[in-house]
Amino acid sequence: MKKSGILHPGLSKLIAETGHTDYVVVTDAGLPLPEEVNTRIDLALKEGSLPFLEVLDTVIDELAVEKIMIAEEIKTASPNMHDEIINRFSNAEIEYIPHIEFKERTKQARGLVRSGEFTSYANVILVGGVVY
């Protein structure tokens, strides 16, 4: 039995297979998950479970991230969530894109991880970094 870290086998595998510049998307409960992405990890059980920030924190504890992409609409629609996300990435580049473009870019992801979050625009594309 694994002693620590991510216990979910699919999520653990996704993180282990993510390389430099690969996309991993952590989403709220409402973002459509593109069918062309094979690795889709749905952790949404019910509203608020599992919360977006808990899922995000778990992923970034194990994944090197050099850049994030978020929808520009989050700034006005969900400013508190925006601030929470930004505070986690002081050493990463941050790119704001229109939500419609965000949804298109998710089609290029190595994997998608859905949370049970019901906050508007609580979605982030994590761009894999390197640890050296």
Amino acid at 31: L
Q: Which region, left, alpha or beta, applies to residue 115 given φ > 0 means left and ψ of -120 to 50 means alpha? A: beta
121 annotated ligand binder:
yes
pTM score, two decimals?
Answer: 0.96
pLDDT (tens, 9 = 90+) of the chain, 132 residues, equals 888 999 999 999 999 999 999 999 999 999 999 999 999 999 999 999 999 999 999 999 999 999 999 999 999 999 999 999 999 999 999 999 999 999 999 999 999 999 999 999 999 999 999 999
CATH architecture for segment(s) 21-128: 3-Layer(aba) Sandwich (3.40)
The answer to whether 44 is annotated as binding is no
Tell me which residues are annotated as active site. Answer: 20
Residue 96 assigned to a binding site:
no
d(CA 72, CA 112): 20
How is the chain split into domains, by residue range? 21-128
